[in-house]
A = this chain, B = another copy of it.
Amino acid sequence: MALIVQKYGGTSVADPERIRNVARRVVETVDAGHQVAVVVSAMAGETNQLVELARDLGGAEPDPREYDVLVSTGEQKTIALLAMAIQGLGRQARSFTGGQLGLRTDTAHTKARIRSIDSERLLAVLRGGSVGVIAGFQGVDDEGNITTLGRGGSDTSAVAVACALEADVCEIYTDVDGVFTTDPNMVPGARMLERVSFEEMLEMASLGAKVLQTRSVKFAMRYGVPIHVRSSFHHGEGTWVLPEEEVMEKLMVSGVTYNRDEAKIRVVGVKDAPGVAGGLLLPFSEAGIVVDMIVQNVSQDGTTDLTFTVPRRDYPAALELARRAATQSGARDVEGDDRIAKVSVVGMGMKDHAGVAARMFQVLGEEGINIQLISTSEIKISVVIEEKYTELAVRALHAAFVEGGAEAPTEER
């Protein structure tokens, strides 16, 4: 007997018929002898309707506390309906709102962070032979105010519940088969990964793979809870996201990802002295704008160029901030470009950055694609290129690194 947490997204519970399908899937798992806690999102479309109502009555920036009271009703509806559907199949089920689960968060409405889960009540229900049906995306703060977790919140709820229960696996049901080496809509040769390490998944998630949210992967990595990303349409195995040591097959490159949601800003002629670059970036952090890649060019005549990327939606504000900061610090000019794409290769086997980078440049160079920025981490290399070359770059890199099947030399295990 295993303890399994399952998570179904909005598409999987979009209407009564699909909710019944989910109920059947849950009951199959119960009948296989497992304890099951299910985390669900709002029915597809529901959240958008609620957000529209909030805009109508609360304007462009509705009160965040009330916004959370409003949108959390979406998941509350689903848990009651799914519990009923499971009961309709002759099994016991009991729903939990975020508050009833004791999922405590901070008070940052619309983007709250989980602090703790009081798993006792849920565990008692599971031990009693019932399915626990949990509203994803929501919690309560210390005052009992309803909070929501923001983007990807339901995945994060599911993983957090799995961690609190010390579950054997957190199954994330989705409309794709698993995690792919790259976007299958863009590259026909994309293939599903059987296993991928938390670290790789984290890079791939943050670099643009849409299957799992970064937050939930971090959570699972910290507590070592395996995630199984799988299809809600069939029973085939999907992709297991596991601790590094459990991922046997170490590919040099596990995936090629892209992200077209960023813009680039370059501050030219910055005085090359300690603290100046930091002073330029401080206003962005104060304004809540996430600065991603930061590259400082080689110093020339006592000045340097500082280039960085920001989310594209923040581009106009960021450009304005950069111009002000540049004037104050005596920089020469500010340039910007929001027609860029970030393309990355990710892989645990990527020990030799120089080698991968060299091959990457070669592949892109053969396609006539100019590299504007480079940034590396332990297991990924990202380049910024002109947006229009995104697909070309992804296909070429996938062909060279993944379809070519370059396997890293790895110690026997």
Q: Which residues of A contact B (CB under 8 A)?
A: 16, 19-20, 50, 53-54, 56-59, 62-63, 65-67, 69-70, 72-73, 76-77, 79-85, 87-88, 93-95, 97, 99-100, 144-146
A54 and B84 in contact, given A73-B73, A73-B76 (Cβ under 8 angstroms): yes
Copies in the complex: 2
Give the residues in chain B near A66, CB-CB below 8 Å: 79-81, 83-84, 87, 93, 95
A99 and B144 in contact, given A58-B84, A88-B58 (Cβ under 8 angstroms): yes
A57 and B73 in contact, given A66-B95, A144-B99, A144-B100 (Cβ under 8 angstroms): no
Q: Which listed residue (B56, B57, B77, B99) contacts A99, Cβ 8 A?
A: B99
Instruction: Report the nearest B residue to A43, measured CB to CB.
Output: B53
Q: Which listed residue (B69, B97, B99) contacts A79, Cβ 8 A?
A: B69
Complexed CA–CA distance, A319 and B185 (Å) = 66
A292 to chain B, nearest CB (A): 33
Instruction: Report the nearest B residue to A56, measured CB to CB.
Output: B16
A95 and B69 in contact, given A57-B16, A58-B84 (Cβ under 8 angstroms): yes
Besides the known contacts A58-B88, A100-B144, 13 further A-B residue pairs in the complex with CB atoms under 8 A apart? A16-B57, A19-B57, A57-B84, A62-B84, A63-B84, A65-B95, A67-B84, A70-B76, A70-B84, A73-B77, A97-B146, A99-B144, A100-B145
Complexed CA–CA distance, A70 and B93 (Å) = 14
By the criterion CB–CB under 8 Å, are A57 and B70 in contact? no
Q: A16, A81, A85, A146: which has the most chain B beta carbons within 10 Å?
A: A81
Complexed CA–CA distance, A145 and B125 (Å) = 14
Q: Which listed residue (B16, B95, B145) contacts A53, Cβ 8 A?
A: B16
By the criterion CB–CB under 8 Å, are A63 and B83 in contact? yes
By the criterion CB–CB under 8 Å, are A77 and B57 in contact? no
Instruction: Report the nearest B residue to A17, measured CB to CB.
Output: B56
Q: List 16 A-B contacts (CB under 8 A).
A: A20-B57, A50-B77, A57-B84, A58-B85, A58-B88, A65-B95, A66-B79, A66-B80, A66-B87, A66-B93, A67-B84, A69-B80, A69-B95, A70-B81, A97-B146, A99-B99
A135 to chain B, nearest CB (A): 9
Q: A66, A81, A85, A144: which has the most chain B beta carbons within 10 Å?
A: A66
By the criterion CB–CB under 8 Å, are B80 and A67 in contact? yes
Complexed CA–CA distance, A97 and B100 (Å) = 13
A73 to chain B, nearest CB (A): 4
Complexed CA–CA distance, A88 and B65 (Å) = 14
Give the residues in chain B near A19, CB-CB below 8 Å: 57
Instruction: Report the nearest B residue to A53, measured CB to CB.
Output: B81
Give the residues in chain B near A20, CB-CB below 8 Å: 57
A69 and B63 in contact, given A54-B81, A99-B99 (Cβ under 8 angstroms): no
Instruction: Report the nearest B residue to A146, measured CB to CB.
Output: B97
A6 to chain B, nearest CB (A): 18
A140 to chain B, nearest CB (A): 9
Complexed CA–CA distance, A20 and B83 (Å) = 35
Q: Which listed residue (B59, B62, B87, B100) contacts A63, Cβ 8 A?
A: B87
Complexed CA–CA distance, A124 and B43 (Å) = 36
Complexed CA–CA distance, A95 and B80 (Å) = 22
Counting from the closest, the 6 A-B pairs by CB-CB distance are: A58-B84, A70-B80, A73-B73, A69-B80, A66-B80, A57-B84
By the criterion CB–CB under 8 Å, are B77 and A94 in contact? no
A59 and B88 in contact, given A16-B53, A66-B83 (Cβ under 8 angstroms): yes
